[in-house]
Structure 1
Amino acid sequence: MTAPSYWLHTLGPLTPRPPLDGDLDVDVAIAGGGYTGLWTAYYLSRAAPGLSIAVLEAKYCGFGASGRNGGWASGLFPVSEEKLTRRYGADRAAAMHAALADAVDEVGRAAAAEGIDCDYAKGGTITLARTPAQLRRARSAPGFRSAAEASAICGASNVLGGVYSPHCAALHPAKLVRGLAAAVEARGVRIFEGTQVLRLGPGAVSTSRGVVRAKTVVRALEGYTAGLAGHKRHLAPVYSLMIATEPLPAPDWARIGLARRETFSDERHMIIYGQRTADDRLAFGGRGAPYHFGSRIEPSYDRVPAVFDMLRDTLTEMFGIEPAIAYRWGGPLGIPRDWMPSVGLEDGVAWAGGYVGDGVAAANLAGRTLADLISGTESDRTALPWVGHRSRRWEPEPIRWLGINAALRATTWRDAWERPRASATRPGE
């Protein structure tokens, strides 16, 4: 079995669990064996040990974004606190961000409690400002740092300032998702891999291997939601690609910094993201790959040579290095039409997702929230503004294809317009 990411490759060959073998009756059926589905199973099995729970996964747990992402457990949310305040009020907006910040710590607590060594390191995150336009955006943000302070964290070129947040941990995402799968299995949750979910609704999940009847059905498919019957326009699968270098030598790390394994990005419009891995590589990713007509998802879309080249060139420009690239990979993430993630339960069908790439910690919070909703427990989590939210559907094709790819192109142009024409220099040079 070929591993689709550096993270999964480090785990060695994976032996899939057996698929579903005919029809099944359970209390809760969960479609999707990534973070959302597994955290839901984890907290639900703790809250109600007597429930029978089945997780249904088309490939194997962690095959999707949970085993391919940048390894940021962050308190980031794709909707700003200002927008949340306008929609839901200051108290609920603050509660949303506080809950996400706590989720960063909860991931570490739960991993430690279950003996999951996922290279968790809570060093925070730094968003660098490296052009005058980026600096103007950064100055008004909480956690702003001067050029010297930001460069002391991450020694990139042309640092003019930065925004630091303590609410982020770097981790090994595949170790986390595979360890979580083992933990829920130990609690009596049944996991069926190699079992593709075809459609779901109140009371039943139809799969490639049989029908699972359940009192509660959970949709936790994230970027793969579009492949589910009747859900083509719920979440747009947009690709994010990554590279990982060979381990870098100590002199490079002395210049680059990230001594506490802080994650890093900058204020450009086209998102980039990186971390220093536990084995001293740079794992670095970014957007820019095209959206594919009809929300299609294909293995060939995981690799776009031009984007991989851009990512490597960006590392060279940022850090003055020309690293050997050991791994290249990618995969789809789920984007709702209004960029607002959601969690809910209605008529026996629960759902969570649409994290827009910030799902490692958010999925943990979503799993705890779904466990509350399914067990009928009122809590601070069930009152958060994303609970019960319904994003409007994406436009039909070809409007969807034209709009998403036009936005990607416009984002590239905006960054090019803001880029200084002068050559890059390192801090202090």
Structure 2
Amino acid sequence: MIPSYWLSTLGPVTPRPPLPGDRSYDVAIAGGGYTGLWTAYYLSHVAPHLSVAVLEADYCGYGASGRNGGWASGLFPVGEAKLARRYGAAQASAMHAALADAVDEVGRAAAAEGIDCHYAKGGTISLARSPAQLRRARKSAGFVDAVRARAICNATDVLGGVYSPDCAALHPARLVRGLADVVAARGADIFEGTRVTALSPGRVVTDHGTVTAGTVVRALEGYTARLAGHRRALAPVYSLMIATEPLPASFWDRVGLARRETFTDERHMIIYGQRTADDRLAFGGRGAPYHFGSRIEPSYDRVPEVFDSLRHTLTDMFGIRPEIAYRWGGPLGIPRDWMPSVGLQEGYAWAGGYVGDGVAAANLAGRTLADLIAGRRTERTGLPWVGHRSRRWEPEPIRWLGINAALRATTLRDALEKHPAPAR
């Protein structure tokens, strides 16, 4: 089964050959998604003399990079105020400026390499559709009133919104598969169908042999939990998506999203959507359960109740009952403190924990890892996420109980805001 609408538009994927046995490289990258491929891409610019191998369990883009909502955004899971308290205002500002630049860099790199990923930088709108949501929105930078919010996205019950220009809609699978082709053409060896089972400084163990390398890079995001000794590093939490059939011009004339702005609202449970280049609504959200022991299985990609909830949300937001053409999902990686990180220590490098905001962040991470591996001191290598270490998640069953309780509590909070208890 093709794991997303995005990948289905590319036709059958023929994986590259697997690792042909034990090999040695200067840099070995575990993971053929955005993080791993951007790292290899920028290494080919700043350190072209290094030999690089990318090791991927299925095929490049099989994971989150080929399934996500297609938002290249300047969002960061940790708010700027919290970052400022921890690292200082200047560092917090630098982190968010670097992410905003990464949104543009994704577009620049795709254009330079001839990757047609349907990149459209229209920004993003978070709608306020209840009094409680409006109160939150008014406290945010970028607040716009109801008239301006509806001019961008004319959903139902719009009271206001928060607009940011730092977001582009794109076709994520076109980006990741195109990037893999570019990386291979620039000299990296990509081995698909090669599952990494263990990582350590200087050594990557796979089901097809062992790779020794001067630098080993962990770029597995939600799949990190499958590695020996890493089950509690990142919690693999599922996000699910649907895509409608193409919608008529009359719908778009009413709703807007004329510049393909991405959209969400101010509810607590995360939802996200975009107008695709072929005029569908691609729409997703959290709410699927976390699975005991950080298990990852293809069957978890599909939860009928969550798909039904996503369709109901589209009906509620836009007053339509659209035909749903595609349903899919997949795991994303959540660190215990929700703080993504990038680092290099004694030949072992890592990046990830994007909490679902990884399309642009992975580009910034790849550039940063390339700088670190090449021994370059840049503004990127001084950002606050560099060298950060999140504490591990709690052991089971505490992890299962805590994450799923938080999901249920989030759903309850949204329900109470939509239908508040009557005054006494």
Which category of TM-score, normalised to the shorter sequence, fits these structures? Answer: over 0.9
1:270 paired residue number: 269
Q: Is the 8 A contact 1:20 1:193 kept in 2?
A: yes
Query: Hey, what's the Cα distance between the residues in 1 that align with 2:77 and 2:254?
Result: 31
Q: CA deviation at 1:43?
A: 0.1
Query: Hey, what's the Cα distance between the residues in 1 that align with 2:43 and 2:390?
Result: 26
1:136 paired residue number: 135
Letter in 1 for 2:148: E
Query: Hey, what's the Cα distance between the residues in 1 that align with 2:173 and 2:94?
Result: 29
Q: CA deviation at 1:236?
A: 0.1
How is 1:236-315 mapped onto 2 (pairs within 5 angstroms)? 236-315=235-314
How is 1:15-414 mapped onto 2 (pairs within 5 angstroms)? 15-414=14-413
Q: CA deviation at 1:92?
A: 0.3
Q: CA deviation at 1:45?
A: 1.1
- Give the secondary-structure state (helix, strand or coil) at the position aligned to 2:174: helix
Query: Hey, what's the Cα distance between the residues in 2 that align with 1:175 and 1:262?
Result: 19
Identity of aligned residues (%): 81
**1:52-93 deviation line (CA, Å, top 9, x unaligned):** 000000000000000000000000000000000000000000
Letter in 2 for 1:328: R
Give the ranges of 4+ consecutive aligned residues of structure 1 lying more than 2 Å apart after TM superposition.
none
Query: Hey, what's the Cα distance between the residues in 1 that align with 2:61 and 2:391?
Result: 28
**1:363-409 deviation line (CA, Å, top 9, x unaligned):** 00000000000000000000000000000000000000000000000
Letter in 2 for 1:62: G
**1:262-301 deviation line (CA, Å, top 9, x unaligned):** 0000000000000000000000000000000000000000
**1:81-124 deviation line (CA, Å, top 9, x unaligned):** 00000000000000000000000000000000000000000000
Q: CA deviation at 1:50?
A: 1.2
Query: Hey, what's the Cα distance between the residues in 2 that align with 1:256 and 1:77?
Result: 28
Q: Which runs of 5 or more residues in structure 2 are unaligned?
A: none
Query: Hey, what's the Cα distance between the residues in 1 that align with 2:346 and 2:408?
Result: 40
Q: Is the 8 A contact 1:203 1:213 kept in 2?
A: yes
Q: Is the 8 A contact 1:37 1:55 kept in 2?
A: yes
Letter in 2 for 1:269: H
Q: Is the 8 A contact 1:73 1:360 kept in 2?
A: yes
Letter in 2 for 1:71: G
Q: TM-score, normalised by structure 2?
A: 0.99
Query: Hey, what's the Cα distance between the residues in 1 that align with 2:267 and 2:201?
Result: 43
Q: CA deviation at 1:421?
A: 7.1
Query: Hey, what's the Cα distance between the residues in 1 that align with 2:312 and 2:52?
Result: 46
Query: Hey, what's the Cα distance between the residues in 2 that align with 1:48 and 1:152?
Result: 47
Q: Which runs of 5 or more residues in structure 1 are unaligned?
A: 423-429
Q: CA RMSD in A?
A: 0.8
Query: Hey, what's the Cα distance between the residues in 2 that align with 1:202 and 1:154?
Result: 49
Q: TM-score, normalised by structure 1?
A: 0.98
User: How many residues are matched?
Assistant: 421
Q: CA deviation at 1:49?
A: 1.1
- Give the secondary-structure state (helix, strand or coil) at the position aligned to 1:214: strand
1:427 paired residue number: none
Query: Hey, what's the Cα distance between the residues in 1 that align with 2:370 and 2:68?
Result: 24
Query: Hey, what's the Cα distance between the residues in 2 that align with 1:3 and 1:24?
Result: 31
Query: Hey, what's the Cα distance between the residues in 1 that align with 2:197 and 2:159?
Result: 50
Query: Hey, what's the Cα distance between the residues in 1 that align with 2:253 and 2:306?
Result: 28
Query: Hey, what's the Cα distance between the residues in 2 that align with 1:25 and 1:411?
Result: 48
Query: Hey, what's the Cα distance between the residues in 1 that align with 2:105 and 2:228?
Result: 34
Query: Hey, what's the Cα distance between the residues in 2 that align with 1:200 and 1:158?
Result: 51
Query: Hey, what's the Cα distance between the residues in 2 that align with 1:110 and 1:60?
Result: 22
Q: CA deviation at 1:212?
A: 0.2
- Give the secondary-structure state (helix, strand or coil) at the position aligned to 2:371: helix
